[in-house]
């Protein structure tokens, strides 16, 4: 087993990244002198990267779990994850095997992740919100998945999935007693020596994780992420603010509010980055706006990272204007578009802009983020590519690069781009072309290099020959004083093929008002182009969303078909 104790990354300030295809990319001219042009490092496994911080800050609190009021130091992180790895090794888990984790945000998620990686096996996070059919699909797709860690609250789903798949070991998390056919986490590691197995890992080629896409347009696809994919993305994201000129850093001094699901690529990468940065992860079992606002004030949080629906809940919470949020220096949003009205309200109260970022499971996941060294933070933009990452807008048919301001498909190149789709070389070949990953997202870049997402190509509504972006309609609807949430999709129309339909959630104070579908349509008609305003409106109590708050458009489209 290789010794990584002397490992250090090299920050290159002289030579442009080999991933940058065109040295005249507009955002590069704004890059601050303390921001590396490229980051070079000897390949290192994710668990070894985190192990370096654990050795440097052994007594710092690594995790504080709010619901159980338990704290774990970095020394305990190493100790418990070593026990997990040895226990898995004794079960027969070997390099290249897959091991699942199905739980919400809890300390065991991190313990198990590192323990699995230390055996050379591949981590498969399973979204605890999934139904048994999707869980069975993931287990089947994974091929050799024999062991899974399951939260007690998800055991019923896993048992139902077992009707279609075979599992040899179910290890129950957060359970005082084992159920039939299971063993508790405590029993699993009891009496096991905290010894990491002697396994040689090739970080550039061996998989650290197999993350399944959200399945918003079909069955989830397995995305193969190597250790180097995740390490590259971690370093490039953390260094986007630049090295401190005084040589000081925030290692071991910050608090990260762990609110984004760890099973999702966004939450997964933030967890790795936060633990590598020796931050204290304050884990919440579920999102509670009052508790989050209280925690920002109490811990003097510097950077809050959330998804749009979380910002919506924070802004609409009565405590939003009562809590002291002055410690916040940065606020970042990802996974979906942040409505301008929310960004505006946040800035009015907190005094700082929300910077949007962008990424996909296929890119580990971060590719873009708001950079302080750009002329300004623009809440409507996803920012600029992170270090060692190139991006361009192309015609989706010819793949020819477009001029600034033109809308086309966003392509990404960088060390964080996935190894490929699991057992699907054909789909991989269609998605990665000459090193460029096709995102399927429509975007544009302005003259200064700011990128803007216009929508998914698959979500475009074709109304009477016109192309309508759902996001543009949604953003306008958010300006209506009574609308809390809006989701826009195409709906079948017997005469013209398809039309524009808006699903609306009203604010609580307007639920019993006399606002009708016609009111909303007429209001939108006055504010949107004649071919853009919704022709149909349906009120819902809540919009269907994915685990990280994206509007689940497929479910809305299915609803429009059922209504016919």
**What are 484-493's pLDDT values in tens digits?**
999 999 998 8
- Look at strands 169-173 and 183-184 and give their pairing: parallel
Residue 91 token pair:
């079960």
pLDDT at 45: 98
pLDDT at 220: 77
pLDDT higher than 80, residue 446: yes
Backbone angles phi, psi at 424, to 5 degrees: -145, 65
pLDDT in tens, 357-401: 999 999 999 999 999 999 999 999 999 999 999 999 999 999 999
Residue 345 token pair:
């309200």
pLDDT higher than 60, residue 196: yes
Report the residue count for the chain. Answer: 564
- Average pLDDT on 299-322 reads 94
pLDDT at 456: 79
Task: For the chain, give the mean pLDDT.
Answer: 93
pLDDT at 286: 86
pLDDT at 463: 86
pLDDT higher than 70, residue 87: yes
Domain 463-562: top CATH class: alpha beta
- Kindly provide the residue ranges of all beta strands, DSSP E only, lying in 175-302, ordered along the sequence: 183-184, 207-212, 222-226, 255-258, 280-283
| Range with lowest mean pLDDT among 316-320, 336-340, 352-356, 443-447 | 336-340
User: To which residue do tokens 């059922």 refer?
Assistant: 562
In angstroms, the CA 166 to CA 385 distance is 43
Backbone angles phi, psi at 158, to 5 degrees: -65, -40
In angstroms, the CA 196 to CA 85 distance is 6
Contact at 8 Å (CB) between 551 and 487? yes
pLDDT in tens, 136-174: 999 999 988 999 999 999 999 999 999 999 999 999 999
- Average pLDDT on 189-216 reads 92
pLDDT in tens, 506-539: 999 999 899 999 999 999 999 998 889 999 999 9
pLDDT band at 458 (very low <50, low <70, confident <90, very high): confident
pLDDT higher than 70, residue 551: yes
pLDDT band at 422 (very low <50, low <70, confident <90, very high): very high
Within 241-398, where are the H helices?
A: 265-276, 289-299, 308-315, 340-350
pLDDT band at 438 (very low <50, low <70, confident <90, very high): very high
- Look at strands 358-359 and 366-369 and give their pairing: antiparallel
DSSP output for 421-449: ETT-HHHHHHHEETTEEEEEEEEEE-TTS
pLDDT higher than 80, residue 503: yes
pLDDT higher than 60, residue 247: no
pLDDT higher than 70, residue 43: yes
Contact at 8 Å (CB) between 489 and 501? yes
pLDDT at 245: 62
């Amino acid at each position: 087993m290789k010794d990584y104790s002397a490992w250090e990354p090299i920050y290159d300030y002289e030579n442009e990244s080999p991933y940058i295809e065109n040295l005249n990319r507009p955002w590069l001219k704004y890059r601050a002198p303390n921001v590396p042009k490229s980051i070079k490092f000897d390949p290192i496994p994710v668990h070894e990267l985190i192990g370096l911080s654990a050795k440097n800050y052994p007594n710092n609190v690594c995790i504080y779990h709010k619901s159980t009021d338990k704290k774990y130091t970095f020394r305990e992180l190493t100790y418990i994850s070593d026990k997990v790895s040895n226990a898995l090794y004794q079960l027969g888990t070997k390099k290249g095997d897959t091991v699942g984790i199905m739980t919400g945000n809890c300390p065991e998620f991190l313990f198990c992740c590192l323990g699995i990686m230390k055996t050379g096996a591949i981590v498969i996070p399973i979204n605890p919100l999934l139904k048994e059919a999707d869980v069975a699909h993931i287990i089947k797709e994974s091929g050799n998945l024999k062991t899974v860690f399951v939260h007690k609250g998800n055991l019923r789903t896993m048992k139902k999935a077992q009707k279609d798949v075979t599992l040899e070991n179910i290890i129950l998390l957060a359970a005082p007693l084992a159920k039939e056919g299971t063993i508790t986490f405590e029993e699993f590691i009891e009496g096991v020596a905290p010894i990491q197995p002697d396994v040689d890992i090739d970080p550039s080629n061996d998989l650290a994780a197999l993350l399944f896409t959200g399945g918003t347009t079909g069955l989830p696809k397995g995305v193969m992420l190597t250790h180097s994919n995740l390490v590259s993305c971690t370093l490039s994201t953390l260094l986007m603010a630049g090295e401190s000129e005084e040589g000081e850093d925030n290692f071991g001094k910050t608090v990260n509010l762990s609110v984004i699901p760890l099973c999702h690529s966004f939450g997964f990468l933030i967890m790795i980055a936060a633990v590598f940065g020796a931050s204290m992860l304050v884990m919440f079992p579920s999102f509670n706006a009052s508790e989050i606002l209280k925690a920002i004030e109490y811990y003097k949080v510097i950077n809050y990272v959330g998804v749009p629906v979380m910002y919506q809940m924070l802004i609409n919470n009565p405590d939003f204007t009562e809590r002291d949020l002055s410690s916040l220096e940065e606020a970042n949003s990802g996974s979906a578009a942040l409505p301008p009205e929310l960004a505006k309200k946040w800035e009015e109260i907190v005094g700082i802009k929300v910077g949007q970022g962008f990424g996909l499971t296929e890119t580990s996941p971060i590719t873009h983020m708001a950079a302080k060294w750009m002329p300004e933070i623009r809440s409507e933009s996803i920012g600029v590519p992170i270090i060692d990452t190139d991006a361009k807008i192309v015609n989706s048919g010819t793949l020819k690069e477009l001029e600034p301001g033109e809308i086309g498909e966003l392509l990404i190149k960088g060390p964080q781009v996935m190894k490929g789709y699991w057992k699907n070389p054909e789909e991989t070949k269609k998605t990665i072309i000459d090193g460029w990953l096709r995102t399927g997202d429509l975007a544009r870049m302005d003259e200064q290099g700011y990128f803007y997402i216009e929508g998914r190509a698959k979500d475009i509504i074709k109304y009477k020959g016109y192309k309508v972006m759902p996001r543009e309609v949604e953003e306008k609807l958010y300006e209506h004083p009574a609308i809390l949430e809006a989701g826009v999709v195409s709906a079948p129309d017997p005469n013209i093929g398809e039309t524009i339909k808006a699903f609306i959630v009203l604010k609580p104070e307007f639920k019993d008002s006399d606002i009708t579908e016609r009111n909303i349509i007429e209001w939108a008609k006055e504010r949107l182009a004649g071919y853009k305003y919704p022709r149909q409106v349906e009120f819902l109590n809540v919009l269907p969303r994915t685990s990280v708050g994206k509007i689940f458009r497929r479910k809305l489209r299915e609803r429009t078909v059922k209504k016919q």
